[in-house]
Structure 1
């Protein structure tokens, strides 16, 4: 079985979690993958798209191709799988108006032109149902073999509040600056660690700025005592697949998160972490965990079990393989 994966890029988190980490398992089970970044220019598109007929499946990660290209792909591909893990039919949280007719139309055409769609969560799946029945949910899973349990006995009295993410999401954290400054006034043993490529400062609180690297990613997450996942209650946020939360819980780090979208689904309030909506609630919930090391450990251990059971690569890689097998059988 030959599969051509067209992805955002080898270094892009979504590509790593939605495609690249599956490859060893798929290869072990008879899949011959070819992975290419989206072709950019006219001639590069022609060169790549001319090869589509050689493959049993064309797997497109997130990209919505313009109509003439999509028409060409559809005509030549045996089976198209479209995978997406964001609210690509909406504008992002920084936009004044989330609705976009252009985005919605491109999304509809991409979905209807595909043989099968993989959505990253239930909210995204609902967006496909007016156009498509052949849809399944596969979250952005975690390879548990890379995430060992956090060592809770290590360290000193410092409590590290941690956030890891891309620069496009740091605005969620910047909005929290007043509460970090309030906590910093009260607790000199609390610090904020940001793992990203852009940063900000807080008065009264030490901010550790760590440039993200794939090599250090797990170690950085294990250095957190409390993971943070603030969001805004809007369509863009509801499309997020909770990767930051899953990474923290996989390492045994409890989280405080906004109770929107998939955050609500992954984190049971009081079991794997705590929900917080208003600034006052965020301060209150963070203080609970800052002052209770035993509770942090209890929630962290529960969170790790949760990810291992429902959000692990070991759980979802066979589902991906079975989908591919089914599509190839149906096309013969």
Structure 2
């Protein structure tokens, strides 16, 4: 069997791609399944993609990448399956997917972990958003052999257009990378958040809660990201994200948070931050939105919160009680091992290729 993975970014650069595609590659190797990973953006263009300026270089990189996708079409017959993560091209209609499905005829597996059929314009993508083709998500789902969905909300949408749509959550490797257990007996208590520039604005939702907590408690608020957050906290400590230090950075956190607005876009989120926290024995405090309510067992491995008052009460409770943090942390780690680990979901992932 030969599988072609079509992904947006160079290997090791984007969390969604690393956890939904790249970490499964060793599993395919174990099963003696041959594969090839083909990103859209090259390293040089990706290094400037989210920085201001360099318009000519970005356009040149885009043109080169589009040409490479055209060339790739003529190699599709060499593969049994073509696994497309999110989209084959970041702008314009789904011409690649249509040609692949209608003319070159490999079995297409479409994988997505956000509500990408909805427009979601942010400061970082405001220019390219004008050239997005959001309706193509529905079309790609229809043309696919199977669809892999990151949460049940996404699956319900996909099932309207393709009955071969399956729930395959984003998971972590609890046998290796996410094996450590956070020691909750620390002199300085920390609340932490991990994410990318696209989700940093969500921290504004709990900024007033954290400011109120600062008036009564001593703690650090750690942000692990690719950009500094725009929030006003005297307790703030920024840690630049890198794949090599990701787990070590998270192990500095006693309490992990994941605020979300109650929107259709947010319902498409797969609660992966919470999975990361719990996998390391860090209790998760999350907004009671979408997949968060399924992924985080309330009062067992963490807390789901609606409204600032509940956020304050739950964070205060965990700041005060190291034993509770440890108890919830242990339960969360076991929960992830049983439900959101490679071992737990290996069979579901491999069934996509049958």
Q: TM-score, normalised by structure 2?
A: 0.85
- Partner in structure 2 of residue 5 of structure 1: 5
- Partner in structure 2 of residue 329 of structure 1: none
Bigger drift between 175-184 and 263-272 goes to 175-184
Contact 2:88 2:94 in 1 (8 A): no
Contact 1:4 1:35 in 2 (8 A): yes
- Partner in structure 2 of residue 173 of structure 1: 203
Bigger drift between 271-280 and 241-250 goes to 271-280
Candidates 29, 32, 38, aligned match of 1:30? 32
Contact 1:252 1:304 in 2 (8 A): yes
Q: 1:108 to 1:203 in 2, by over 3 A?
A: closer
User: Cα distance, 1:224 vs. partner?
Assistant: 0.6
Contact 1:174 1:200 in 2 (8 A): no
- Partner in structure 1 of residue 59 of structure 2: none
- Partner in structure 2 of residue 330 of structure 1: none
Task: Give the 5 Å matches for 1:1-332.
Answer: 1-9=1-9, 10=11, 11-38=13-40, 40-41=62-63, 42-63=66-87, 66-74=93-101, 75-92=103-120, 105-145=135-175, 146-152=177-183, 154-156=185-187, 158-187=188-217, 189-200=218-229, 205-324=234-353, 326=354
Structure 1 unaligned segments of length 5 or more: list them.
327-332
Please give the alpha-carbon distance, in whole angstroms, between the structure 2 residues aligned to 1:20 and 1:131.
Answer: 27
Q: 1:151 to 1:256 in 2, by over 3 A?
A: closer
Q: 1:161 to 1:93 in 2, by over 3 A?
A: farther
Higher relative contact order (CA 8 A, sep 6+): 1
User: Cα distance, 1:317 vs. partner?
Assistant: 2.4
User: Cα distance, 1:211 vs. partner?
Assistant: 0.1
User: Cα distance, 1:35 vs. partner?
Assistant: 0.2
Q: 1:57 to 1:201 in 2, by over 3 A?
A: closer
Please give the alpha-carbon distance, in whole angstroms, between the structure 2 residues aligned to 1:203 and 1:20.
Answer: 36
Residue 303 of structure 1 aligns to a residue whose secondary structure is helix
Please give the alpha-carbon distance, in whole angstroms, between the structure 2 residues aligned to 1:203 and 1:134.
Answer: 47
Residue 92 of structure 1 aligns to a residue whose secondary structure is coil
Deviations 1:4-60 (A, max 9, x none): 000122211111011100011111111101001027534212211111110010000
Q: 1:169 to 1:144 in 2, by over 3 A?
A: same
Residue 269 of structure 1 aligns to a residue whose secondary structure is coil
User: Cα distance, 1:159 vs. partner?
Assistant: 1.0
Please give the alpha-carbon distance, in whole angstroms, between the structure 1 residues aligned to 2:73 and 2:242.
Answer: 33
Please give the alpha-carbon distance, in whole angstroms, between the structure 2 residues aligned to 1:204 and 1:46.
Answer: 49
Q: How many residues are paired up?
A: 318
Q: TM-score, normalised by structure 1?
A: 0.91
Residue 172 of structure 2 aligns to a residue whose secondary structure is coil
Deviations 1:65-111 (A, max 9, x none): 5243332111103210000000001123869xxxx9x8553111111
Structure 2 unaligned segments of length 5 or more: list them.
42-61, 124-129
Q: 1:84 to 1:132 in 2, by over 3 A?
A: same
Residue 256 of structure 2 aligns to a residue whose secondary structure is strand
Q: What's the Cα RMSD here? A: 1.9
User: Cα distance, 1:319 vs. partner?
Assistant: 2.3
User: Cα distance, 1:242 vs. partner?
Assistant: 1.0
Deviations 1:183-235 (A, max 9, x none): 11111x21100001222366563211100011111111111100000001111
Please give the alpha-carbon distance, in whole angstroms, between the structure 2 residues aligned to 1:129 and 1:233.
Answer: 23
User: Cα distance, 1:151 vs. partner?
Assistant: 4.1
Contact 2:182 2:254 in 1 (8 A): no
Please give the alpha-carbon distance, in whole angstroms, between the structure 2 residues aligned to 1:126 and 1:29.
Answer: 30
